[in-house]
Amino acid sequence: MTAKTPTGLAGDAKQRLIQQALERRRHSAGAGEQGATLEQVQQAALKVPEAHYRFDQHPGYQQLRVIQQSGLRLGLSNPFFRLHQGTAGAQTQIGEREYLNFASYNYLGYSGHPRVAEASKAAIDRYGTSVSASRPVSGDRPLHRALERELASLYEVDDAVVMVSGHATNVTTIGYLFGPRDLVVHDELIHNSVLQGIQLSGARRLSFAHNDWQALDRLLGEQRQHFERVLVVVEGIYSMDGDYPELPRFVELKHKHKVFLMVDEAHSLGVMGATGKGIREHFRLAGNDVDIWMGTLSKTLASCGGYIAGSTALIEHLKFLAPGFLYSVGMPPAVTAAALAALQLLADDAAGVAKVQARGELFLRLAREAGLDTATSTGLAVIPVITGSSFKAGRLSSALFERGINAQPILYPAVPEHSARVRFFVSCEHTEEQIRHTVAVVAEEMARLG
């Protein structure tokens, strides 16, 4: 028999009762402690600054509001998000007025070209307006493969892949291929999309002086041994300054230091080279001299999106595993067809390429003769006029707009304050008369600014 305690309960039963009482006491004490913690949290919440939970108090938005209000006080019109009423080429309609337009990347006039428009419309009729899922899931359309073949052929490499955003193409490619044990080295004026891709990758980031291959050589000599993979990124034509790197020197450094070389051709395709094939044609380089060719479909190719061209291993890798491609919807048929038609036009448009080059050279020569500061521009489609301050850039852009010329200011922090500018994009559709008139007006308005 089980022994009993003086209270008449078996020893093990009494022990269970004691244990239950202790559990109830601990539970009650815990509830009290929890109540105190919630009260403390509520008190702490009252001390959180509004800027930490309200978008209208965000520092970036506050800075934007200061800039906007300053512009209003100075009588400057807002130059951004203007409403265009039709195709924005060398001329455009904003509101009820026609303007000379220098704020478009439509370098060869393919946006609005009848063949491009018809190809896009036909693609909608046959394939609809969307592929409705990522390409690995929804499957390819013949247009996707045709465009990628054409891009690979243009660069004389194995293959290419197109993605729905130019910016995202750089972000996902760099962000996926490189990691914390790697180094990405870039020109100090490289595009934001490259910087965002490096940040996503977790790789170490270092920059070198603009277009200075010798500085890059020294940097790689000091740093290469400390990292596994190293990527060097440059642009074909720099979108703020309109100049370009001496690419053969960078190819030499790629071999010397055993690194990857990536070239962003967003602005150089269609503009550089005798037939518009870009910086590779300009310097007569082989396709495999560069490991990663990147470009956008939204400028010369009159569409939207981005591409990567290179070796089979690179492209197959990105198609199956790069998040920005794998988890994003495939290129819409109309957009793909437009880029393909534009690329086919480029193949037979040496005259258009020669014209955009000639018009840019004319603008640059006249601007320099007028005493305007065009920085390091080479006249290849992108020509800045440096004003020296964001205020002057805004005033110049506003004055030009009043006189029927649409050209955008580039303000701090997009560029350093002393490098604020109004930027002009020249196309083959601009006439010599339009360019002469524009440069004369810019010179007059700059003189008024002092």
Mean pLDDT confidence for 192-216? 98
31 has a pLDDT exceeding 50: no
- Asked, for residue 336, whether it belongs to a domain, the answer is yes
Mean pLDDT confidence for 6-21? 56
Q: Per-residue confidence at 78, pLDDT binned at 50, 70, 90?
A: confident
Mean pLDDT confidence for 179-188? 98
Instruction: Find out whether 171 and 193 touch, Cβ atoms under 8 Å.
Output: yes
Q: Tell me how far apart the alpha carbons of residues 86 and 93 are, in angstroms, rounded to a whole number.
A: 6
32 has a pLDDT exceeding 50: no
- Asked, for residue 225, whether it belongs to a domain, the answer is yes
- Asked, for residue 61, whether it belongs to a domain, the answer is no
What is this structure's pTM?
0.88
242 has a pLDDT exceeding 50: yes
- Selected residue with higher pLDDT from 31 and 353: 353
Mean pLDDT confidence for 172-189? 98
Q: In this predicted structure, what is the pLDDT of residue 6? A: 40
Q: Per-residue confidence at 350, pLDDT binned at 50, 70, 90?
A: very high
236 has a pLDDT exceeding 90: yes
Mean pLDDT confidence for 260-266? 98
357 has a pLDDT exceeding 70: yes
Q: Per-residue confidence at 38, pLDDT binned at 50, 70, 90?
A: confident
Residue 273 φ then ψ, to 5°: 90, 155
pLDDT 10s digits, 57-74: 898 888 888 878 877 776
Domain end marker among 313, 346, 379: 346
Clarify whether residues 205 and 319 are in a common domain: yes
Mean pLDDT of the chain: 92
pLDDT 10s digits, 309-335: 999 999 999 999 999 999 999 999 999
23 has a pLDDT exceeding 90: no
Mean pLDDT confidence for 209-232? 98
Q: Tell me how far apart the alpha carbons of residues 270 and 111 are, in angstroms, rounded to a whole number.
A: 13
Mean pLDDT confidence for 102-115? 96
Q: To which H or E segment does residue 162 belong?
A: strand 159-163
Q: In this predicted structure, what is the pLDDT of residue 139? A: 87
- Asked, for residue 166, whether it belongs to a domain, the answer is yes
Mean pLDDT confidence for 79-103? 92
Q: In this predicted structure, what is the pLDDT of residue 2? A: 43
Clarify whether residues 242 and 382 are in a common domain: no
Q: To which H or E segment does residue 44 belong?
A: helix 11-46
The alpha carbon of 161 is separated from its chain's Cα centroid by a whole number of angstroms, namely 17
Q: In this predicted structure, what is the pLDDT of residue 82? A: 86
Q: Which residues contact 276 (CB under 8 A, 6 or more apart)?
A: 108, 269, 270, 300, 346, 349, 350, 352, 353
Mean pLDDT confidence for 70-86? 81
8 has a pLDDT exceeding 60: no
Clarify whether residues 361 and 289 are in a common domain: no
Clarify whether residues 153 and 249 are in a common domain: yes
Q: Tell me how far apart the alpha carbons of residues 194 and 197 are, in angstroms, rounded to a whole number.
A: 5
Domain total for the chain? Answer: 2
Q: What is the CATH number of the domain that holds 180?
A: 3.40.640.10
Clarify whether residues 193 and 98 are in a common domain: no
Token pair for residue 374? 């065009």
- Selected residue with higher pLDDT from 31 and 439: 439
Domain end marker among 295, 317, 346: 346
Clarify whether residues 191 and 141 are in a common domain: yes
Rounded percentage of the chain residues whose pLDDT exceeds 90: 78
Instruction: Find out whether 196 and 170 touch, Cβ atoms under 8 Å.
Output: yes
Q: In this predicted structure, what is the pLDDT of residue 20? A: 63
Q: Strands, DSSP E only, in 304-362?
A: 306-310
Q: What is the CATH number of the domain that holds 398?
A: 3.90.1150.10
Q: In this predicted structure, what is the pLDDT of residue 17? A: 57
280 has a pLDDT exceeding 50: yes
- Asked, for residue 16, whether it belongs to a domain, the answer is no
424 has a pLDDT exceeding 90: yes
Token pair for residue 87? 């195709």
- Asked, for residue 15, whether it belongs to a domain, the answer is no
Clarify whether residues 119 and 213 are in a common domain: yes
Rounded percentage of the chain residues whose pLDDT exceeds 70: 92
Token pair for residue 425? 């994009």
Clarify whether residues 422 and 304 are in a common domain: no
Clarify whether residues 193 and 278 are in a common domain: yes
Clarify whether residues 299 and 183 are in a common domain: yes
Clarify whether residues 153 and 226 are in a common domain: yes
- Asked, for residue 425, whether it belongs to a domain, the answer is yes
Instruction: Find out whether 171 and 197 touch, Cβ atoms under 8 Å.
Output: yes
Domain end marker among 346, 362, 394: 346
Clarify whether residues 149 and 287 are in a common domain: yes
Considering only 47-61, 95-109, 180-194, which range has the smallest mean pLDDT?
47-61
Range of the domain at 81: 74-108+350-449
Between helix 333-346 and helix 114-127 the angle, nearest 10°, is 150
Beta bridge partners of 161: 308
Q: In this predicted structure, what is the pLDDT of residue 239? A: 95
- Asked, for residue 54, whether it belongs to a domain, the answer is no
Token pair for residue 353? 């390429």
The alpha carbon of 90 is separated from its chain's Cα centroid by a whole number of angstroms, namely 24
Instruction: Find out whether 271 and 357 touch, Cβ atoms under 8 Å.
Output: yes
94 has a pLDDT exceeding 50: yes
